[in-house]
Amino acid sequence: MSEKLEQLNQAAKETVESDFLNACGSQKWSRKMAESRPFDDIAALLNQAEQIWRNLEAKDWLEAFAAHPKIGAKKAVPKQSAQSAEWSHGEQSGTRAANDSVLEALAEANRLYEEKFGFIFIVCATGKSAEEMLAICQERLNNNADTEIRIVADEQRKITEIRLKKLLESEN
């Protein structure tokens, strides 16, 4: 068992809830993860994270979505912790090389998306260019709300998994 996993298993509930909240902005998910300890190994933690996520209500998903900055945004959202903001910045690194016209188109697509669905565009941005994210957003604007919330929930699940792995690799 990794040293960091052992620390998560033994940490105070409030401390580990905060760590989990950095990975996924849902209070309920974070609380249920903290209550699920101890985890035998990283695979068990990741499996439990996915099971809890899939069984949450839409309002819990929306809370997690709201903890993300918009794709291409320059600053963190008010609800976002420093750790989460740092991870978001790294995940969206593909937008830093984009030219102004792509960033403007992405901002407009974000606006249309939020207007249509009532929540921000979420995509697992790791490894994607701004152009790829723009194309994904524009394509997903064709979806209906029921389809889109499920897609976004799965994108959040992917992001959470990446962040949990980062949390387990961290020096803290």
- Does the pLDDT at position 160 exceed 80? yes
| pLDDT one-digit tens code per residue, 84-118 | 656 655 566 567 778 889 989 999 999 999 999 99
First-to-last alpha carbon distance for the chain, in angstroms, is 16
DSSP for 32-88?
Answer: HHHHTPPPSSHHHHHHHHHHHHHTS-HHHHHHHHHTSPPTT-SS--TT--HHHHHHH
Rounded to an integer, what distance in angstroms lies between the CA atom of residue 7 and that of residue 122?
30
Judged by DSSP in three states, 104 sits in: helix
| pTM for the model | 0.88
pLDDT at 1: 54
**What is the pLDDT confidence band of residue 54, given thresholds at 50, 70 and 90?**
very high
pLDDT at 85: 56
Mean pLDDT of 9-22: 95
Note whether 77 and 67 are within 8 A (CB). yes
Q: Which domains does the chain have, with CATH numbers?
A: 3-169 (1.10.3330.10)
Mean pLDDT of 14-31: 95
- Work out the mean pLDDT of the chain and round it to a whole number: 89
- Cα Dmax for the chain: 49
Lookup: tokens for 157:
């699940």
Note whether 49 and 161 are within 8 A (CB). yes
Rounded to an integer, what distance in angstroms lies between the CA atom of residue 76 and that of residue 23?
15
pLDDT at 83: 65
pLDDT at 84: 61
Judged by DSSP in three states, 170 sits in: coil
Active site residues: 68
pLDDT at 89: 54
